[in-house]
Amino acid sequence: MTWLHSRRLRYLAGVAATLFLLLLALRALFFFGFSAFDARALLSDGDLAKTLGIGVAFDLRLAILLVLPLALLAWLPRWNLVRSAGLRHLARAYLGLALLAVLLVYILDFGHYAYLGVRLNATVLRFVEDAGISAGMVWQTYPVLWITLAWLATAAATFYPLLRLERATLARPPRTIGRLAVAWGSACVLLATLFGLLGRVDSLNLENPVPLRWSDAFYSGNGEIAALGLNPVLFLHDTLEVKPVDFDEEQARLHYDLMADYLGVTRRDAQALDYVREQPAQPGIGNGQRPPNVVFVMLESLGTSAVGAYGNPLNPTPNLDRLATQSWLFRHFYVPVTGTAKTVWASITGVPDVSRQETATRNPLITRQHTLINAFDGYEKLYMIGGNAGWANINALIHQSIDDVRLVEERHWRSPRVDVWGISDLDFFKESDAILRALPKDRPFFAYLQTSGNHRPFTIPRDNDGFQAEQRPLEEVQRHGSRSLEQYNAVRLLDFNIGRLFELAKAGGYYENTIFVLFGDHNTRISQIPHMPPAFEQLGLESNHVPMMIHAPGLLAPRTFDEAVGLADLLPTVAGLLGVAYRNGGMGRDISQAAPEGERVVPLVLREGTFPVIGGVTRDFLLQMQHDGSAPTLHDLRSPTPLENVAERHPQEFQRLLALTRGMHETSRVMLYRNVRP
C-alpha cells in the first residue's frame, strides 16, 4: 500500500507549492505596488536580499500551516483523502475558504499600508467598532466592486490548479512504489516541513529551537524595511495573540525622577506615580474688556508637506500661507501618534494616546479625563463636528471630560450630508459661525472645530462658493506631497474654506478678540516629498509632522518657533496666554516657559500596534527604538542620509534622548490611567 503515501505526499507538496507561489506573487505586488521605500537604498547595504529572505521564509511557513489540516485528513487511518470522496469535498471547501480568507487579509493589508504606512495588525479592530462609518468611507473611496471581482477571480484562478492537482494525484489509479523511496520521500518532506515552520536553518537546535519571529523583520530599526519582510496573515495573528498591558509600573518608576524634572513636578510621589503639578497664572493677553475667545481648528489629514508655508511649491494653501506670516508659526510641530481619534484625545487631555490595540477613546474605563479646558472659567464651551461624534467613541471623551460642553454634530446641522463624514466643511464653518455669533456677548467662548473634508473620498460639494478644482499632471502633484489629484484639490478646498472661516469671523465681530489655534491631525502617507528633508520620508516622520499656528492678530505679534513642539503642549500654552491658573496631570507644557531638559523633546509613536516603535524628536535629531527599549538608533534630521545611525558621533545626545524617549513613553502609558477624573 506504499502507493498511498506517494499520492498523498505529492498532493500535499503540490498544494504547499501552489500556495507558496501565490504568496510570493502577493509579496511582489506589495513590493512594486505599495512599498514606498526606495529599493536602491536597500540594495546598497545588502538589506534587500536579507529582508525579502525573511519575508519568503514567513510565506513558506504560512503555506505549510495552511496545508496541515489537509495533512491530517490525508493520514487518517481508514477514512482519508484517498479513500473518501466526501473528505475530498471537505478539503476543497476548506481550501476555497482559506484562499478567500487569506486574500481578503492581503487586500485589507494593502489598503491599510497605503493609508497608514503600517502592515495590518491588531489595531485594525478599532475600525470594526465603527463598522458603518468605516464601510461607508471604503465604499465612497475605493472601487469596491472591482476589488471584489479581483478577489474572487484570484481565488478561483488559484483554486482551479489545486482541483487539477487533486485529480492528478488523489483520484488517479495507484501504482506501486518501493518502501525505501517512500521512506526517503517522507523523511525529506518532514525535514522540509520542520525547516519551513522554523523559518531558518540555524534554528535546528533540538534542545532549544528558535523559530523565525516577526521581530526579526525589524533588524534594521526602519519600519519601511521591516514592512517588506512581514507576512500580514502571520503578523496579524501574532499581534492578536498578545494580551494588551495597561502600563509597566516598574519602568515608570525607574524613569519617575527624570520625568518629574521634565514636567516640573514639585510634590513628588514615585510610589503613587503622581505627575500632577499646579501652574499659577501667568501674565495673560487680552484687550482689557473680557478674556479672549479660543477657537481650535483641527485640519483633517493635513501635513506640512502639503502647505506652501512649509515649502510646497505648488501654492495649494494661499490662505494658510498668509496666516503663517501673521501668526505664531511652529516649524517643528508633531502629533505624538497618527490618527484623528488619537489627535482629538491628546489635544483635549494633554496625554499622548499610546494605547496599543485600540484608541483610548474606545476604553470606557478612562474616557473621563482631566482637561485644562475646564480651567477656562466663565467660558461657553463647544465641540463641533460635521459628522457623527459617535465615531471612535469621541463623544464619550467630550461629554465626560469637558464640563458643560455643548456637542454639536451631524444630527444638529441643517445642511445636507455630502459623504460618510457628514456635511461639507464649508457648510460646517457657516453653521458654526452662526452658532458662535448667537452666543452671549458678555462671555468668552472656547470652540473646537473638527474638519473632515480632506479625507477619502475627498468629496468636492456642488455648493462650494465658487471653488474650482485645479488640473495638474498627476506626476507633479505626487512629486509634491499628494497621492492623487483628488487629494491635492481636497487640500486646496480645505484652505479655501479656512479663508471663508476667517471672513465669517471678521463679519461676525469676534475675529479681533479670538485666539485661533490651527493644527493638522496627521499627514496621509506619501512617498515623494523632494521639497522636504529626506528624513521625513525615510524615517516616516511625514505622518507626524503637521502644520500648527496660533493666530491672534489683535493680541499676538507674528513669531516663528524653531523648537520641537508637540500636540500635548497646545492647551498649557493657550492657558498661559489667557493668564489662567491650572492643574496639569498630562504630558503637555507651556512653550513660553523654558524646558528643563534644554532643547525640547517630543515623544512619538512611529509605528503603532502591539509592538510599537517609539521615538523622541528634537529640531535636529530623532531617536527611535522598539517599545521595550531595544535597538535604539539616533538619526540626524538634516543629513542627506538620515537612515544612518549617528549615535557614536553624538554620544551625549544619544544618551539624553535614550532616557527621555523611553521615560516619556512609559509615563504617557501611566498618564492614560492616572489622569482620569474621579
Write out pLDDT tens, residues 40-51. Answer: 455 556 677 888
With cell 481619534, the residue in question is 341
How many Å apart are CA 69 and CA 17, to the nearest integer?
A: 16
Nearest to 151 by CA among 119, 108, 117: 108
State residue 471's pLDDT score. 95
Domain check: are 308 and 436 in the same one? Answer: yes
Same domain, residue pair 218 and 306: no
Residue 279, domain member (yes or no): no
State the DSSP string of 558-596.
-EEEEEEEEGGGHHHHHHHHHT--EEE-SS---TTSPPT
One domain for residues 220 and 289 = no
The answer on 211 and 115 residing in a single domain is: yes
Percentages helix, strand, coil for the chain, rounded to the nearest 5? 50, 10, 40
Q: Is 506 helix (H, G, I), strand (E, B) or coil?
A: helix
* Cell 523583520 belongs to residue: 217
Domain termination site, one of 541, 561, 593: 593
Residue 309 lies in a domain: yes
Q: Which one of 593, 623, 641 terminates a domain?
A: 593
Cell of 158: 488559484
264 within domain boundaries: no
From 178, 207, 241, the end of a domain falls on 241
Are 326 and 552 contacting, i.e. CB atoms less than 8 angstroms apart?
no
The pLDDT value given to residue 243: 60
Specify whether the CB–CB gap between 78 and 300 falls below 8 A.
no
Domain membership of residue 677 (yes or no) is no
Task: Give pLDDT, residue 5.
Answer: 54
Query: Strand 445-450 to strand 380-385: parallel, antiparallel, or no bridges (unpaired)?
Result: parallel
**Any bridge partners for residue 550, and if so which?**
328, 517
Question: Do 373 and 499 reside in the same domain of the chain?
Answer: yes
Q: What type of residue sits at position 427?
A: D
Residue 556: per-residue pLDDT = 96
Residue 671 located in a structural domain: no
Q: Are residues 233 and 366 in the same domain?
A: no
Q: List, in order, residues 6 or more apart from 265 with CB less than 8 Å away.
A: 259, 274, 275, 276, 277
To which residue does cell 462671555 refer?
A: 443
Per the omega criterion (within 30 degrees of 0), is the bond before 316 cis? Answer: no
Cβ of 53: how many Cβ atoms within 10 Å?
A: 12
- The DSSP letter of residue 243 is P
> Is residue 661 one of the residues assigned to a domain?
no
Domain count, the chain: 2
Residue 659 neighbours by CB under 8 Å, 6+ apart: 255, 258
Identify which of 189, 190, 210 has the alpha carbon closest to the alpha carbon of residue 198: 210
Residues 325 and 230 grouped into a single domain: no
Instruction: Please state the pTM of the whole predicted model.
Output: 0.78
CATH of residue 445's domain is: 3.40.720.10
Say how far apart CA 175 and CA 3 lie, in whole Å.
6
Is 83 part of a structural domain of the chain? yes
8/140 same-domain check: yes
- Rounded CA-CA distance 172/187 in Å is 24
- How many C-beta neighbours within 10 Å does residue 386 have? 29
- State residue 195's pLDDT score: 77
Residue that the C-alpha cell 469535498 belongs to:
89
Q: What is the rounded radius of gyration, in angstroms, for the C-alpha atoms of the chain?
A: 28
List the domain range (segments joined by +) for residue 154. Answer: 2-241
Q: Point out the residues of the chain with pLDDT beneath 50.
A: 1-4, 38-40, 202-208
- Whether residue 296 sits in one domain with residue 232: no
Residue owning grid cell 518657533: 561
Residue 569 lies in a domain: yes
What's the CA gap between 389 and 133, in Å, rounded? Answer: 11
Torsion angle defined by CA atoms of residues 567, 571, 576 and 577, in that order, rounded to the nearest 10 degrees:
90
At 261, the amino acid letter reads D
The phi-psi region of residue 481 (left if phi > 0; otherwise alpha if psi is between -120 and 50; otherwise beta) is left
CB-based contact 446:376 (threshold 8 Å): yes
Beta-strand relationship, 445-450 and 293-299: parallel
CA 280 remoteness from chain centre: 36
Q: Kindly state whether residues 235 and 296 are assigned to the same domain.
A: no
Do 343 and 209 share a structural domain? Answer: no
